[in-house]
């Protein structure tokens, strides 16, 4: 069974996007086969996700900073105005589930021997949410991403893509063990409705990606050896 993910499909899209020249075949192969080591930006983004979607986290004020330890055990200060800004774009906070593992089976895709697995950032009854944090947000690359297709095909509900442009700094005097401060630049939400062509577009993208993976024995063996997620 070939196990794909939104990340693999996003990288394959980038490989054919003239606006993202940094993604080369060599870079794609390296990202796929190398053990994942999150950058500070990705690590900080994980902390923002956990702060924003944890409705039990009580906020004190817009000028305050919440101390958040992410799933990798690293602690960041997250500006509370950043958390407020994200939650304002997600009115379902407290009525949904964060970090929901999912699996699109070969029957869902009508692609024998192929599955797509991943995690939804936040899933409510009638809408899914995906949060992206970056120092430079390019809305078009996210809105047209494979991730968007995967979520909508899997859950068959509208998706809100929340894009938060952030700043990561290392202020003096921060508590010991805190890696840095993540603060708000700006935040925007983009609602995306399902379209009948989504499944065909996703299926075509998966086929083309697999054809590319098959040009390299190590790459295709890698996606064949991956295990699907444990579902809730």
Chain segment 139-150, per-residue pLDDT in tens: 877 888 899 999
Q: How many domains does the chain have?
A: 1
**Element holding 146 (H helix, E strand):** helix 146-155
Q: Alpha carbon 159 to chain centroid distance?
A: 13
- Answer yes or no: is 86 within a domain: yes
Is residue 163 assigned to a domain? yes
Q: What φ, ψ does residue 111 adopt, rounded to 5°?
A: -130, 100
Q: Is the pLDDT of residue 126 over 70?
A: yes
Q: Taking residues 80-94, report their average pLDDT.
A: 92
Residue 203 lies in a domain: no
* Mean pLDDT of all residues belonging to the chain: 90
* 23 falls within a domain: no
Is residue 231 assigned to a domain? no
Tell me whether residue 46 is in a domain: yes
Q: What is the pLDDT of residues 142-178, one digit of tens each?
A: 888 899 999 999 999 999 999 999 999 988 888 888 9
pLDDT of 36 reads 80
Q: What is the reported pLDDT for 135?
A: 87
Q: Residue 226's Cα: distance from chain center in Å? A: 19
Is 210 within a domain?
Answer: no
Distance of CA 171 to the CA centre of its chain: 27
Measured distance CA(129)–CA(87) in Å, rounded: 11
The proportion of the chain whose per-residue pLDDT surpasses 90, expressed as a percent, equals 69
In a domain? residue 67? yes
- Phi and psi dihedrals of 199, rounded to 5? -65, -40
Tens of pLDDT along 209-221? 999 999 999 999 9
Based on DSSP, count helices (H) and strands (E) in the chain, helices before strands.
Answer: 9, 8
Distance CA 35, CA 218 (A): 14
Domain region containing 45: 39-196
Evaluate whether 96 touches 124 at the Cβ level (below 8 Å): yes
Q: For 32-64, write each residue's pLDDT tens digit.
A: 999 888 788 999 999 999 999 987 776 665 567
More confident residue, 203 or 136: 203
Beta bridge partners of 100: 120
């Amino acid at each position: 069974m070939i196990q794909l993910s939104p990340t693999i499909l996003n990288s394959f899209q980038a490989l054919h996007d003239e606006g993202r020249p940094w993604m080369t075949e060599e870079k794609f192969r390296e990202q796929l086969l190398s053990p994942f080591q999150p950058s500070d930006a990705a690590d900080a983004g994980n902390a923002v996700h956990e702060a924003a979607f944890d409705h039990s986290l009580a906020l004190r004020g817009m000028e305050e900073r919440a101390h958040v330890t992410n799933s990798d055990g690293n602690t960041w200060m997250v500006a509370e105005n950043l958390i407020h800004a994200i939650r304002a774009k997600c009115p379902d906070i407290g009525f949904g589930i964060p970090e929901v593992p999912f699996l699109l089976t070969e029957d869902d895709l009508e692609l024998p021997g192929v599955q797509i697995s991943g995690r939804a950032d936040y899933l409510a009854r009638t809408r899914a949410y995906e949060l992206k944090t970056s120092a430079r947000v390019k809305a078009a690359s996210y809105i047209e991403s494979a991730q968007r297709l995967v979520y909508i095909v899997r859950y068959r509900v509208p998706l809100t893509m929340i894009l938060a442009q952030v700043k990561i700094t290392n202020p003096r005097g921060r508590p010991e063990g805190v890696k840095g401060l993540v603060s708000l630049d700006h935040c925007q939400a983009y609602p995306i409705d399902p379209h009948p062509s989504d499944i065909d577009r996703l299926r075509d993208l998966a086929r083309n990606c697999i054809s590319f993976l098959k040009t390299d024995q190590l790459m295709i063996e890698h996606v064949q050896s991956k295990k699907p997620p444990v579902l809730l």
